[in-house]
Every structure is written in C-alpha cells, then in structure tokens.
Amino acid sequence: MNPNATITDEQFEAYLAQIRALVEGPFEELQKEVEVTNAFPDEFYELARENDLYRFYLPACYGGWNLSELEILRVQEEFSRGPGGMRMHLHHAADMNWRILDDYGKPELKARHMQRFQDKGVYCNFAITEQTGGTGADIHATALKQPDGTYLLNGEKWLISHTDCSDFTYVIAVTDPASDKDSRLSAFFVPNDAPGFEVVPMPHMMGCRGAGHAALRFTDVRLDPLYLLGEEGQGMEVAIHSLSVSRVHIAMSNLGMAQRMLEISLKRAQDRVTFGKPIAARQMIKAKIADMQKMVHVLRCAVYDFARDFDRDPHNPQITEKAAICKLFSIDTVKLVSDEMLEIFGGDGYFEDCPYGPVERLYRDCRAMWLEEGAPCVQRITIAREAEARGGALDYTFA
C-alpha cells in the first residue's frame, strides 16, 4: 500500500475479494430486475454503502482511506467485472463525482459538501454533451452574467448519466458567446432542485441498464456566483482535466470486463468438447486466447503506468495524452476480447442465463465504452495533438 493509506495490505486484498464476490453475486442477481426496469432498486445503493463503495476512494479528510490512484483503479477493476450500469454509477462516484468539486469548488461550497460524499450523502453528475453541437467549445447552453452578479443558465444537455440519483450537476456552459475560443466556456455546480432545472426522460440503452440516462433542460436557472467552478473562462480546463482521469477509469472498466471475459472463455473452451476434444486443444482457439491475453496484458501495463504518473503528479503534462491512449487501446481490447468470447461460446453465448457468466450482457454493456467520455476519433485527435507538441516523446515510470 502507499504509506499514507489508512488500511493495511491484507485489508486491501481482502477488500478486493469482497468487491468481486459482491458484484458477481448479489449485484448480478439485482441486475436481472434492473435489465427490465432500467432503475436501481434501493437495495443496490444500500449494498454499495455497506461495502464502502462510496468511501474507499476519498482522502481521509473526507472519510476515505487515502488510497493512491493505482489502488483506487484496482478496486475499480473488481467492480467492473459486474453489471455495466452499476459499474458506470460506481466509476463516476469514485472519480468526477467528488473530484471536480474538490479541485475547483469555492472553499465555502467544499466546506458544505465534501464530507457528504462518503455514504452518498451527495452525488453529482456531469453534463457537457448537447444534441445540437459537438462536445467541446461547440456547445450552446449559456450561463450569462447578470448585473447583480448572478448567472442565468439556459439550454439543454443530452445523454446525461445518473440523473435519477444526483443532487447536483457539473454543467459546462457558454459565458462569453462573442468568443470562439475555449475560454468562452465556464463550469458550474448546479443544484438539481433549482427552479427551471428539468430532467427529460430518454429511451432505454443497449446495455449498462439502470444508470439513469436522461436529457436536461435549463430555463432561466439562476446561479449564485458561489456555484462557479474555478474562474470564468476555465470551463474547458475543468472538463479536460476531469475527463483525463476519468478516461483512465473507463480504460480500467474495460480491463475489468475483458479480464472476466477472458476467464470465462478459458473455462468454456476447456469444458466444451467437439469431435472428441475440448475446443481449447484446437490451434484456432488457442490463437484467440493468445490474442485476448496479449491485449489484456498490454492494457494493464498502460493503465498502471498512467496511475503511477498520476500519483507522482496529477498535473503532469503527459497525463492527457496517456489517458487518451489508455482509453483508445482499451476500446480495441474490449472489442477484440468480446468478439472472441462470443465466437468461443458459440450459440450459447447469444442467450441470457449462460452458466459460465453473463456473456450476452457483457457483450452489450462493454459497447457503451466506445462513447463514454469521448469517441475513439476524439482520443486520436488528442493523442496526435499532444504527440506533435512533444515530438512523440513520453516518460515511463516502471523502473
């Protein structure tokens, strides 16, 4: 463990095992109902609380365990083995949910709320995406400063997760419409019960059921300047810094899912006998297993390297590039591993209630990762921009 952690190595290893048993046991059971209702039952939140899933990632001053980023990501690998919507909720809880307020909130707001993240006394979603523009400077929701110093928020957001269990929303909006630069954007901490704040339902998704996706509509939502995060014009920086770390949490989600898919594929390949031999004995199947293991291993190395960089310096200039690489490679990984898993399972993998594990659901759940926190093209644009700026050089921590 890192020397500042408030738990021992033994307690941490026991916690990892506890979370794996929870997500592959009780959470899988609850998910059968969530697949139909598309909403988490109260029992899910209670189990998450009882198992310290809203606490383990927080600094000790906020009731947490002072884990390093690498240790936090290792817990995330375990809960990513379970249902995708629950993974999405817990991944967000462990990262942007509390981190944005901690990094950019005014001292008065932090004093009010930071202690409440433990046990989900408060939960905050994140809203940048819009239906009418590109994610980034090309957004249209506005938060215009009024003569009395307040801001008036108007506009819409789209595809927003966790809208059914949040108390606040981190909203990125335009404060300087005359500018075409990134500095036209600012970030706000918006109370979801403010007059003029509306949640508009959206259809069910392909996978990751239960994570509360909806659109948001803002009509003259009045915001005290206390709710401005960072400085006016800093909205893009808030988004990019927060998304950088969160993209690696997506990569770790993909790693947790890919590791589980690999394990259940190995078991199935050993058990399934055709023409007198387990299919695992066939070279064609061995090639698939080798390719799956290769991708899982390289992804793990990339994520661990990022986490070590981040633990040394969270504002290290190569964080953005390495985070985008982790996310992009993790999509390649989960794409290959889920396709090979389905081929190894044959027709049985296409049905629910497969005795080896939720093959059909894992296949659907992992596909949200293409889009969550930026599509592959956006990761490529980021990587190319950063690589060009540094002549392709990156530093590594594994010594």
Q: Considering CB under 6 A, how many residues would be counted as binding ligand FAD? A: 20
* Location of structure tokens 């046990």: 119
User: Of 72 and 368, which CB lies nearer to ligand FAD in the complex structure?
Assistant: 368
From candidates 126, 151, 310, 329, binder to ligand FAD by CB under 6 A: 126
CB of 379 to ligand FAD, least distance (A): 9
Distance CA 267, CA 277 (A): 14
371 binds ligand FAD (CB under 6 A): yes
Considering only residues 185 through 224, tell me which ones interact with ligand FAD, judged by CB under 6 A. Answer: 205, 208
Interface pattern 135-164 for ligand FAD (x via CB under 6 A): x-----------------------xxx---
Closest of 291, 159, 284 to residue 216, by C-alpha? 159
* Minimum distance of ligand FAD from residue 29's CB (angstroms): 23
Of 349, 378, 382, 386, which lies in the binding site for ligand FAD, with binding defined by CB under 6 A? 378
- Binding of residue 355 to ligand FAD (CB under 6 A): no
Q: Is 335 helix (H, G, I), strand (E, B) or coil?
A: helix
Read out DSSP for 117-146? Answer: TGGGSS-EEEE---TTS-SSS----EEEEP
Q: What would the two tokens of residue 93 be?
A: 């809880």
Q: Which of 134, 196, 201, 225 binds ligand FAD (CB under 6 A)?
A: 134
Helix (H, G, I), strand (E, B) or coil at 268: helix
Nearer to ligand FAD, 253 or 265 (CB): 253
Nearest by Cα to 210 from 141, 174, 163? 163
Q: Which is nearer to ligand FAD, 109 or 368 (CB)?
A: 368
Encode 256-314 in three state secondary structure.
HHHHHHHHHHHHHHHHCEECCEEHHHCHHHHHHHHHHHHHHHHHHHHHHHHHHHHHHCC
Bridge partners, residue 191, by sequence: 168
Of 143, 374, 382, 383, the residue at the interface with ligand FAD (CB under 6 A) is 374
Q: Which residues bind ligand FAD (CB under 6 A)?
A: 125-129, 134-135, 159-161, 205, 208, 368, 371-375, 377-378
